[in-house]
Amino acid sequence: MASANETGFKTFTATAVAIPRNTRVLLDSSGTISAAGVSDEWIGTTVEDCAASGTVTVRLRNQSGTHFFIASAAVTAGAKLYAAASGKVDDGSTVLAGGAPIGFEAVTAASADGDIIEAAPSSELATGAPVIFQFPINLATIANGDLLTDFPLGFAGKIVGFYASVTSPATTGSKLSTLNLEIGSTNLTGGSLALTSANMTPLGAVVSASAITAGNTFAATDVFSIEAASTTAFVEGSIVLTVICRAL
């Protein structure tokens, strides 16, 4: 039976392209590694230069302590680091090209492309990290208008899911309401959550909103609201509304 790697270092084989030391690397479906691009998910950094098709030790990204990276341009000490091309990092200019935060901030500065910098894990949410918000709602209190107004988000991300979980069933028939999410004052495209007497039972039932297709990204300073429409008032029952986000 395989055992877990508890050292934070692991040996991999490279593809047919050489990889410099301190390069962020991605793992492909064949189990080989190569330099990670701007938008690639990376597993760690090489601890020495690696020849094409050679083997190399990788320091896994969640290994404790500071890490070393290759800068793609000048980097300011203390700056949050972002993914750059060719397994390098930058302190923000690549965001416009799709670079995402890598979860580290610079401890030392770089003056030019190719400089090696030391970086420490940051408290920023890692790209793709899920953030879940839940709100208990008494169904009988739902009326047309906001159920939640201007909830502060506090991080940059996107809304990817919206659900209702039944904690006390509705038993009176022919009741309904349709919920939607807003970022600021703008509705998401999709994400409509239809509540009905029929789907608000039994206890533990989970109802999903329609697919969210656009208008779901937000900045750290944004707020979101939950709005009800087309309501025929419920008499009883309760739910928990769950909003699932992912950090960017």
Does 130-247 match 1-124 at the fold level? no
Task: Give the contacts of 220 (CB within 8 A, at least 6 positions apart).
Answer: 153, 154, 155, 156
Q: Phi and psi dihedrals of 241, rounded to 5?
A: -90, 130
DSSP 113: T
Residue spans per domain, the chain: 1-124, 130-247
Nearest-5° Cα angle at 221, 219 to 223: 90
Instruction: Grade residue 208 by pLDDT with cuts at 50, 70 and 90.
Output: very high
pLDDT tens-digit series, residues 180-204: 999 999 999 999 999 999 999 999 9
Contact present, 28 and 34 (Cβ < 8 Å): yes
Amino acid at 135: F
In terms of phi and psi (left: phi > 0; alpha: psi -120 to 50; beta: otherwise), the region of 150 is: left
Asked if omega into 202 is within 30° of 0 (cis), the reply is: yes
| Amino acid in the structure at residue 119 | A
Which residues neighbour 105 within 8 Å (Cβ) at sequence distance 6 or greater? 78, 79, 80, 81, 119, 120, 122, 124
What class does CATH assign to 1-124? Answer: mainly beta
CB–CB of 23/87 below 8 Å? yes
Is residue 227 classed exposed, middle or buried when 0-12, 13-18 and 19+ CB atoms within 10 A define those classes?
Answer: middle
**Taking all residues of the chain, what is their mean pLDDT, rounded to a whole number?**
92
Fold of 130-247: Jelly Rolls (2.60.120)
pLDDT in tens, 97-140: 456 788 899 999 999 999 999 999 886 666 677 899 999 999 99
